[in-house]
Structure 1
Amino acid sequence: MRVRTSGGALAAGAVVAGVLSLVTVGDGSSPKPVTRESLQAAPLPEGGLRPMQPDPRLPSFHRDGEAPREPPGPPPPPPEPQREILEAVSSPDALVFQAVRGALTYLALFLLGHLTLRRYGVGGRWAYAGLGSVAALITVASQTPLQGWRNLIVLGNLSYFLAIPIVAGLIMGFSYRWRAGLEADGDDPAVLEATLAAAQTKVEPALVDTGDAEYFSGPVQVRTSFPVAFVAALLSSGLFGLISMAFAIPAEVQGWMASGQQMPLNKMVALAIQSQLHVILLMGLMAPLPFAALVMLGQVLLRAIGKTSYRAYLVAGATAPLLLTLLLGPVGFLLGLRAAVPMAVAMCVYRSMAGLEPKAVKEDIEVRDRRNLMDADHPRRRYSRVIKA
């Protein structure tokens, strides 16, 4: 079982890795507002100027008729040195270079691991999820400066800093395995037809082994997996949040321009993006868990009635949020309408990611009396044997 080498899936992963490194990599310090005091306390840049302060060692001058001022006392002791926090201001070119470097690093690591897994015939989903996690973690760690690691340890943000690339890498590797698919090794329809013809049986077997591949025609069902449901919910909610932002930002900028706001257009766009960040926060952090719960509920119901088609999952995803009307009334109906589209996408993504599996056979039974091995409509189940007392 070998996973295909997909250029499009590799490029998509590299782009996500570039954005991840651009957002995640830093010095590990919390953002601090720039004040006049902090500017004066900061070391002077090369060629920079600092506001002139009176020197207590120089004599003080006074007008005629005024009493001379007392010379000041000894200068106060310098403040205790604080832990140095690296503050780097990146230019646009530096940010672009950082994103490109992160994308290329992830691409090289993931491609090397992918070729290694192909060589040994490993194509499991969790193997690729682990590969993506390792590649993303190394990508972010290799660009973090040494002072940044110190700051992360001092501020206690190391676990949070490492969790982001690990989780993102899991999703990236899992998504690559889903998008690339498997190689068609040994899939020869002519060999399958010849094998069935050589069997010479009236009833075609459910499992056919051609020597190079196996084929199954028995009953199947969609796999049940909560991690797959969470990934599908995360992808659909994040995509819906980005689309909502793309439509909301121009509308907000247009509203400000119509109201006569006097500010540059780039500043309006920046403020609109900042005001719409709550959409990404809501859809990317808070929506996946309830969405995943609804996906699992829909999966259980569809599996119980034996539905495996994409149409059934699309309808189930679109109608599942509307069930909120039973709990919340009109408010639930409005929320359900807003969540119908991302839930329909999440259900279809789950159906594609989860795939099919054969239905389980009935469990073994223990027999004490072989007379019980009769059909449900057998006359013996209706008649009892008469024993002469």
Structure 2
Amino acid sequence: MYLVKNSPRALFAALIPLAIVDAVLMAFAVAGGQVADPAGVPAPDQILVFYAGRMVINAALLFAGHFMLRQWAISSRLAYGLMGGVMAAVSYGIAIRNHIQLSAPGDGTVVTIGLLPTIAGMISGFLYGQFAGLSQAAGATGATPPADASEAPAAPLVFDGPVRVRTSVAGMAIAAIMPTVLATLLPYTLLPLLMHGFADKSTAHIFAAVIPAQTFMAMLVISVIPSIIFMLCVHHVARAMSRNRAWEYAAIGGIAAFACGLILALVVPLLAVLLVPAAFCGSVMAALYRRFAGIEPVPLPEIVIATDPNALVGADHPSRRQHGVILSN
């Protein structure tokens, strides 16, 4: 029996999706307050306190969920993903109940807004289980200790048969966010120009935070489904070619993205400038998927259900190439 390890480093890495989502939602809240009530916009220190409070709650609940799964001896990636989603939803509910946020969601949007942190929490739970690693539980082997102390312990289980890359929904979700992340980095190059164009520097800082957040949300809605479909196709192409290494996945992803961009450029010539960025993004997506998907044994052939024993002959058997004859009276 194996359990997921306690790892502060994995916990910090797992909090990255929740940190991004909370930052985006907080930027929208600040922008909304700037439009509705500019005088009531909180100071930067207060915004930082709210943000830190949300992250502390997220970290505490995520680690509490991990501790519960350890007590129940559950270490599957699916369980950790579901645990992360539940804990993120609980954190969102606590923040609303105790007003640990800049503004309350509007009427009829409480559940809708809560879906984004819940999905981010599922990714965070999966990442924790991935980065923390597994350790064998004490006394979980079930084997009787040898009578002679000089006897060597049993060797660990090993496998040297054929393997293939797993089909991972969580891996595809992580890879599908990469176009959104890369597109969000672009507005940051325009921040000096943006802040220079405003006479009021406080307004400039707010818009400098809102524009990347708006880009993130727009790209997330636009690109996540096509990116998942693209990554699924790349994965099955790589599996059909029996490619398992990360650099092989990256090469296939880059070529596939370049080909897709080339097809679009034939229709819209202006898109030709995106060929190289698309190839780079495809390579990163495929490499990320390979990193988080893992490998599994190649399944055995399906069992044959036979009703005629005479049909159980090989493909090269003479009876496959000629017909038997029964002479009738």
Task: State the TM bucket, normalised to the shorter chain.
Answer: 0.7 to 0.9
CA gap 1:31/1:383 in 2 versus in 1, 3 angstroms = closer
Q: Deviations over 1:40-60 (max 9, x none)?
A: xxxxxxxxxxxxxxxxxxxxx
Q: Which residue of 2 aligns with 1:70?
A: none
Deviation at 1:332, TM superposition (A): 5.0
Q: Which residue of 2 aligns with 1:4?
A: 5
1:352 and 2:291 are equivalent in the alignment: yes
Instruction: Return the match for 1:326 from 260, 263, 271.
Output: 263
Q: Which residue of 2 aligns with 1:195?
A: none
Give distance in 1, aligned partners of 2:31 and 2:198. Answer: 32
1:361 and 2:300 are equivalent in the alignment: yes
Instruction: Return the match for 2:253 from 300, 309, 317.
Output: 317
Q: Deviations over 1:316-356 (max 9, x none)?
A: 11111222223541445433322222221111111121111
User: Is the radius of gyration larger for structure 1 or structure 2?
Assistant: 1
Uncovered stretches (5+) of structure 2, i.e. residues with no partner: 139-152
**Conservation of the 8 A alpha-carbon contact between 1:3 and 1:177:** yes
Q: Which residue of 2 aligns with 1:239?
A: 181
CA gap 1:354/1:101 in 2 versus in 1, 3 angstroms = same
How many equivalent residue pairs?
309
Deviation at 1:120, TM superposition (A): 2.7
Q: Which amino acid aligns with 2:160?
A: S
Deviation at 1:232, TM superposition (A): 1.9
Instruction: Return the match for 1:343 from 273, 276, 282.
Output: 282
CA gap 1:120/1:320 in 2 versus in 1, 3 angstroms = same
Q: Deviations over 1:227-258 (max 9, x none)?
A: 43122211x224313433344435x46xx97x
Give distance in 2, aligned partners of 1:384 and 1:18. Answer: 70
1:1-389 alignment to 2 at 5 Å? 1-14=2-15, 17=18, 20-21=21-22, 23-24=24-25, 31=32, 89-144=41-96, 155-183=107-135, 213-234=156-177, 236-250=178-192, 252=193, 263=199, 274-275=210-211, 279-324=215-260, 325-329=262-266, 330-331=269-270, 333-382=272-321, 384-385=323-324
Secondary structure of 1:287's aligned partner: helix
Give distance in 2, aligned partners of 1:146 and 1:265. Answer: 32
Give distance in 1, aligned partners of 2:274 and 2:157. Answer: 47
Give distance in 1, aligned partners of 2:100 and 2:47. Answer: 17
Give distance in 2, aligned partners of 1:351 and 1:321. Answer: 16
Q: Which amino acid aligns with 1:160?
A: T
CA gap 1:241/1:185 in 2 versus in 1, 3 angstroms = farther
**Conservation of the 8 A alpha-carbon contact between 2:126 and 2:170:** no
Give distance in 2, aligned partners of 1:304 and 1:34. Answer: 54
Secondary structure of 1:139's aligned partner: helix
CA gap 1:9/1:88 in 2 versus in 1, 3 angstroms = farther
**Conservation of the 8 A alpha-carbon contact between 1:2 and 1:123:** yes
**Conservation of the 8 A alpha-carbon contact between 1:21 and 1:139:** no
**Conservation of the 8 A alpha-carbon contact between 1:321 and 1:343:** yes
CA gap 1:294/1:246 in 2 versus in 1, 3 angstroms = same
Q: Which amino acid aligns with 2:304?
A: I
Larger helix fraction of residues: 2
Scaled by the length of structure 2, the TM-score of the pair is 0.77
Q: Which amino acid aligns with 1:165?
A: P
CA gap 1:301/1:372 in 2 versus in 1, 3 angstroms = same
Uncovered stretches (5+) of structure 1, i.e. residues with no partner: 40-86, 187-209
Q: Which amino acid aligns with 2:183?
A: G
Deviation at 1:96, TM superposition (A): 1.6
**Conservation of the 8 A alpha-carbon contact between 1:117 and 1:123:** yes
CA gap 1:307/1:34 in 2 versus in 1, 3 angstroms = closer
Secondary structure of 1:2's aligned partner: strand
> Taking every aligned residue pair, what percent have the same amino acid on both sides?
24
Q: CA RMSD in A?
A: 3.8
Give distance in 2, aligned partners of 1:163 and 1:221. Answer: 33
Deviation at 1:388, TM superposition (A): 5.8
Scaled by the length of structure 1, the TM-score of the pair is 0.66
Secondary structure of 1:183's aligned partner: strand
Q: Which moved more, 1:225-234 or 1:11-20?
A: 11-20
Give distance in 2, aligned partners of 1:88 and 1:361. Answer: 65
Give distance in 2, aligned partners of 1:356 and 1:16. Answer: 24
Deviation at 1:22, TM superposition (A): 5.5
**Conservation of the 8 A alpha-carbon contact between 2:249 and 2:286:** yes
Deviation at 1:312, TM superposition (A): 1.4
Give distance in 1, aligned partners of 2:186 and 2:198. Answer: 26
